[in-house]
Structure 1
């Protein structure tokens, strides 16, 4: 599947899709405003899976957000944030008829779910569980601060078993949980599925960093608003943030501006126009990321011109979301002061 950075495994995915009546899931913590990276990568992945005939479940992981200390561990706010997430994805064109939204707190009422959590913990070493804490955006040793965090990876694995899905979707930062789910499926003592794992790429923070080397520290994060684009940012906000973004001349690797082109602009808009005065070479028009990468890598395109064009493109792509919430600003309580 071309939108994914990793498929575990391609042959299993082929078999599952050929069988038909396929189900999948993605879990999201209701923890605040959606970043541009998170929103577009998830929405695009959901649309592509819908087109492939997959029935998708979005798990609004409220108890997970509570364990992860999000929104002041205020469950009422976490619930309101979950409703906001659903509205945001619908504003981005995710088909509500083919997407089911469920709450983790509904699972917590079922003894069968907690049996899966315990069985997953029994089938996993403590070290393996601690290594998986990075799925929370945490380091391994942070489990020492709050013992509830140690069950988070087992809860995420059990979410997948409990939903009985064929596909587990997430960013590359969720890989450790998905691999744990696959590895212990035959050891939990219950008839559970070992899902195909689909992982989409993460976008680096605007300040730079390698999401390959350290996805937790380097990815866009709403906790650092000026290092991330948010789906509610005004065109002025987007231009201001991108103007300061890390974008070394001629370099493509770990460049957040070119990655925005590769992962968001071209997949969603299909083209990008660079507006330049004739004395600086005139306008440039690209219809693929490959074309843009060649021009930027060879020095034909200046970072300032690229930033301005990307800001215009993103402002237009995010316009439906901004308009959706203008008359119903339920997102405002989740804003982080810059």
Structure 2
């Protein structure tokens, strides 16, 4: 990555997303919103949040205006329609995260980018401009393979400003965390900018650290086409969807290198605090129960042939639906989330017509 140009000494201009005197913070950057949020994407975010050290404040950053510049969600004819759909998708995702791990999410500070920006728009946009002055266009474009489009350039510069807003601290730790390689490159660009910023150093601030928490694939098929609706479980799948998808999921006896039911069991079932009940005939070893800490044992027994796909897949199907039904119930019980789900469904319907 190209080194940023040295900035002239000047007062540091930045948005402060966290107040002065705030202790160590672990800021997780949510990926661009989707009208069809997958269970895997939600679990990746939970993994990022769980990685925070004890005693650190967990912050979940929702980049709604960056998503608007990326044109990743279309909600209608106007920019206001698009932004409404983006915010609804983000609200729905946060509600699902709270249903999946309520104890963890109770301690998470959720910040929406636009709300933070509007609290101090002048300093935020000046920090975006300064970031643009500090790097060549080539360095900015290197952060994203799609950066020939102007929206991606703007989103990358906004990521630098977001990092400055969240990661500026004196005498305390700050970590910027994500699971997306694209987001990681943008955050690394931000750190490079801060390391070369004289005003940043003069203010006694230390650049944040970027951490990438590797995501887990919950792909149900080895080579599924992008348009395959059964390629992955969605957060709001109904019971028939889960049954159909898990029935088609690849599951080869003894193969743990790629075994979607094992991954679903480990991450979506056991990882979310549920148990896995495998029903078997007595001559096949009888019923078997696996708890939260038994993911390794589950894989070992499957690899050894003690668990057959015919027994594992139905058990994972029912347990996965148990987890997702909890998510659906939480959405239905909350008026704001139910309204967000309707807005997302409306936007998805409009997108299908295009």
What TM-score do the two structures reach when normalised by structure 2? 0.72
| CA shift digits 1:112-170 (9 cap, x unpaired) | 2223223333444544433422xxxxxx1x333x3121222222232121123612122
1:50-102 C-alpha deviation (Å, 9 max, x unpaired): x7122222222111211222221611222333333333333331566633332
For 2:152, the equivalent position in structure 1 comes to 149
The aligned counterpart of 1:42 is 45
* Equivalence map 1:17-166=2 (5 Å): 21-28=23-30, 29-43=32-46, 45-46=48-49, 49=52, 52-72=54-74, 74-92=82-100, 93=102, 98-109=107-118, 110-133=121-144, 140=145, 142-144=146-148, 146-164=149-167, 166=174
Q: What is the CA–CA distance in structure 1 between the aligned matches of 2:37 and 2:307, rounded to whole Å?
A: 30
Change (3 A) 1:95 1:259: closer
Which residue among 214, 229, 232 is the counterpart of 1:201?
Answer: 214
* TM-fit CA distance, 1:236: 2.8
Cα offsets for 1:172-221 (capped at 9, x unmatched): 43332333333332124442543233333323222236xxxxxxx99xx9
Separation in 1, partners of 2:94, 2:178: 17
- The equivalent of 2:296 in structure 1 is 290
CA distance in 2, matches of 1:251, 1:283: 21
Q: Show CA shifts across 1:291-332 (max 9, x none).
A: 112122223322342222222222222333211222443314
The equivalent residue for 1:316 is: 322
- In the alignment, the residues of structure 2 paired with residue 169 and residue 94 of structure 1 have an alpha-carbon distance, to the nearest angstrom, of 20
Maintained 8 Å contact 1:59/1:104: yes
- The alignment yields a C-alpha RMSD, in angstroms, of 3.2
Distance between the aligned counterparts of 2:228 and 2:161, measured in 1? 31
User: Contact (CA 8 Å) 1:243, 1:304: kept in 2 or not?
Assistant: no
How big is each residue's C-alpha offset from its partner over 1:269-296, in whole Å with a ceiling of 9 and x where there is no partner?
Answer: 3643321233544323334121112122
Contact 1:41 1:264 in 2 (8 A): no
Unaligned runs of 5+ in 1: 1-19, 134-139, 210-216
> Alpha carbons of 1:294 and 1:82: their partners in 2 closer, same or farther (altered >3 Å)?
closer
Partner of 1:180: 189
Give me the whole-angstrom Cα distance separating, in 2, the residues matched to 1:271 and 1:80: 31
Q: Structure 2: where are the runs of 5+ without partners?
A: 1-21, 169-173
* Cα distance in 2 between the residues matched to 1:320 and 1:271: 14
**175-184 or 57-66, larger mean C-alpha shift:** 175-184
Distance 1:96 1:300, change over 3 A: closer
Higher relative contact order (CA 8 A, sep 6+): 2
Give the C-alpha shift of residue 48 in structure 1: 5.8
- With over 3 angstroms needed to count, the CA separation of the structure-2 counterparts of 1:195 and 1:269, relative to structure 1, is same
User: Residues 260 and 124 from structure 1, CA distance in 2 versus in 1: closer, same or farther, beyond 3 angstroms?
Assistant: farther
Asked if the contact 2:67/2:86 (under 8 Å) is kept, the reply is yes
In 2, Cα distance between equivalents of 1:262 and 1:196: 29
Deviation for aligned residue 1:44:
5.1
Q: Distance in 1 between matches of 2:34 and 2:115?
A: 18
Alignment of 1:161-240 (within 5 A): 161-164=164-167, 166-173=174-181, 174-191=183-200, 193-204=206-217, 205-208=219-222, 225-240=229-244
Shift of 1:241: 0.9
| Distance in 1 between residues matched to 2:344 and 2:228, nearest whole Å | 13
> Residues 244 and 23 of structure 1: is their aligned pair in 2 closer, same or farther, counting only changes over 3 Å?
same
SS at match of 1:294: helix
- When normalised by structure 1's length, the TM-score is 0.76
Aligned residues, how many?
301
